[in-house]
Structure formats: C-alpha cells, structure tokens
Amino acid sequence: MTEAEELPHAPQEARTVFGEFFPEAVRYAELLADAGVKRGLIGPREVPRLWERHLLNCAVLSEVVPEGVTVCDVGSGAGLPGIPLALVRPDLKITLLEPLLRRTNFLQEVVELLGLDHVTVVRGRAEEVLGKLPPVHVVTARAVAPLDRLAGWGVPLLRPYGEMLALKGDTAEEELQGARAALSKLGVVETSVLHVGEGIVDPPSTVVRVEVGESPGGVRFAAKRAKAARPSRRRR
C-alpha cells in the first residue's frame, strides 16, 4: 500500500470547517499524501493522521485571525498552516514564505491547482525579505523554531499593532515565559496563550499570540539596516 492509499477519508468535521472549499481541502490532503511524502515535505507516518493533526489543526487558527487582513506564513514548508487557513478564509491575503526551492515549487503547484488567487508564494528567509515585502497584520508559524527565535524572525515583519500567531504544543506556556525578555526587546506589548478548535480537534490547538505596539521590532530593525547600509561620509 502506498502512502497516498493510507490517507483516511475526511472526517465530518472537515466538511464543517472547510465548507464550500471541502473538495479543495481533500485535493490538498491527497497532494500531501502523495507528492508531499515523495518530495520529503512530510513523513510517511503523518499520512494516516493528516486530517486531525495537520489540516484541521491548522484550519481552526482562523478563529483568531481578524477579518480581511494580510498574513505572512513564515517557514511555510508544505503549506501548514498557510494553505488550510487560505481555504477557510478567502477574505485574507496570504504570503507563504519559505526558503527551500523544493518546498516553494510544491507550494506554487498547490496554489495553482487549488485556484488560491489570494495566496502568493515567496522564496526566502524572513530576515532576507525584511523591507522588501510590505509589513503585514498577522504572521503565522507552525513547528518552525522556539518562540524566542521565531519572534526574532516574525515580529519584524509586522506592521504597527500587528500580531504573531504561533501554533505550539504542550510547552507553549513554558516557551512564552522563557521568551519574555526577547519579546520585550522586539516591541511586544501583549502576549497570551489561546486554545482554538474546541469540538473540532482533540485536543484543541494551542496558539501563542504575540502583539506589538506602535513601534514593532520590524520598524527598528529596518531602520538599523538602512543606517548600516549607508556609505560612511569621509572628510575630504
């Protein structure tokens, strides 16, 4: 039996969550179970639990994303959480940011196959696109890095009063406590741990929300980089 053949039927919860875009969600799951495994984007052991552990786990993030905002999914990988979020929220304008070529190729194929006109794929690291991409309202991430390091990449991409939403596991509270000093330096003014997807995924998905004020880290970082890039003036 191939990995694709091990993909279980979509649960009823998936029909509820994805609504009219349920067929596209099924197609995405099939692509992950086939090309995603063959190209090394997900492990073959993940296929039997693709719906509960990955697609639904990510889609319920939509519960805490404001309406009509811009989103950057940092380290998007195989498109999680960016693509499930895009399927349930066509009102969002989403950028999938990923440094590896084989992953961005897969993401571009998925976006085109599913007709996700509100999604753009960008190859690069967060620190490389700083100042090149417009600041966004929301940064999302899942299984990318510990919170202090992730915030160093994601927070600078935010516009004033933006927020980073990081899908985390059982250690979310501990990570948040350990990252407080780093978050403060980045201009973070508010943090919280949220649980989303009650009654849809078990256990509910855990999200760390990091909110910035009027001067997020991105503004300061961009200014510092611009200053460093200026040629020094020598007296003649």
Closest CA to 95 of 154, 47, 46: 154
CA distance 106 to 116: 14
Q: Is 142 annotated as a binding residue?
A: yes
Q: Is 175 annotated as a binding residue?
A: no
Q: Return all residues near 86 (Cβ < 8 A) that are at least 6 apart.
A: 92, 94, 116, 118, 119
CA distance 41 to 28: 13
What letter represents residue 217's amino acid? Answer: G
CA distance 120 to 73: 10
Cis? peptide before 23, omega within 30° of 0: no
Q: Is 98 annotated as a binding residue?
A: no
Cα separation values, 230 from 49, 130, 226, 235, Å: 51, 17, 6, 15
Triad 210, 211, 216: Cα angle to 5° = 115
Q: Are 56 and 30 in contact (CB under 8 A)?
A: no
Q: Is 187 annotated as a binding residue?
A: no
Q: Which two tokens stand for residue 181?
A: 């000093």
Residue numbers belonging to the annotated binding site: 75, 80, 126-127, 142
Residue numbers belonging to the annotated binding site for S-adenosyl-L-methionine: 75, 80, 126-127, 142
